[in-house]
Amino acid sequence: MHSRRNSVEHISTARRSCDNCCTRKYCLVSRIDERLTPGLSKAMRHPRILARGERLFIQGDKFYSIYLVRSGTFKSYIIDDTGDRQITGFHFAADILGLDGVQSGRHGLEIEALETSSVCVVPFCKLEQDFGQNQSGLYRYLIGAASGAAYQQSYLLMLLGRLHAAQRLASFLLDISRKMGERGGSESEFHLTMPRYDIANYLGMAVETVSRLFKRFEKQNLIKVERRHLKIIDRDGLLDTLSSDHRFSALRNTA
């Protein structure tokens, strides 16, 4: 009896946690019919808290779960044979982490919190069980997340290989702006949780170059920066910087 009561309380707490989550409508949970997945809420851990600098998993860890970002920001990176890190992306509320381990059964990336952050942990075996219960919405969502990760890699290669330094930074800031807007936040004002050296690593530039470009963008009245708080003053000006390469002029119609 005691065990049954604990199980009921666990499910109830988990559902309350999802119901009260400000990222719920952008999250995987919104794609799941709870009537068909009574075990999922019970299995999900709400939430796991990570301090700044704490890693969610490391390269080579066995893959067991996927992680739904509930709050905060994370960075993903790979470590090469010489011990150097290459940042592959930054991840925000409602993003899915951990899909890099699905195919091989081990994680190929490392995920680290950039600030105090939280995730909900979803055992992947539970999701596989749900696929057999006509969870087409869930399936499409996961495929979309995996496709988004693949696009992020292509985007990074494009940044590193085709754009000059000012275009890289303009593209990065516009991409962050877009992601903030998609999550119900402000597209014009946001906090950059990643330090300059992480931005430089991601964009393939020296830290000094990134700092110089931030100052240049401020002098051009494109942005205003106070510590890590950034305000986009002239969005069209950032687009002009990016679309100085004719291949990106079409962004004016979508940004």
163-253 and 2-158 share a CATH fold: no
182-187: long-range contacts, CB 8 A cutoff, minimum separation 24: 182/26, 183/23, 183/26, 183/92, 183/93, 183/94, 184/22, 184/26, 187/232
CB 231 within 8 A of CB 189: yes
Give the other-Cβ count within 10 Å of 135's Cβ: 20
Q: Where are the domains of the chain?
A: 2-158, 163-253
Looking at CATH, the fold of the domain delimited by 163-253 is given as Arc Repressor Mutant, subunit A (1.10.10)
User: In this predicted model, what pLDDT tens digit does every residue of 131-173 receive, in sequence order?
Assistant: 555 555 555 556 656 655 655 665 666 666 678 899 999 999 9
pLDDT class for 118, splitting at 50, 70, 90?
very high
Query: Which one has a higher pLDDT value, 253 or 125?
Result: 125
CA torsion sign for 7, 11, 17, 20 is: negative
Short-list 23, 35, 47, 27, CA closest to 144: 27
Chain centre to alpha carbon of residue 195:
16
CATH number of this structure's domain 2-158, picked from the four choices 3.10.130.10, 1.10.10.10, 1.10.10.60, 2.60.120.10: 2.60.120.10
Q: What is the pTM of this model?
A: 0.80
CB 38 within 8 A of CB 45: no
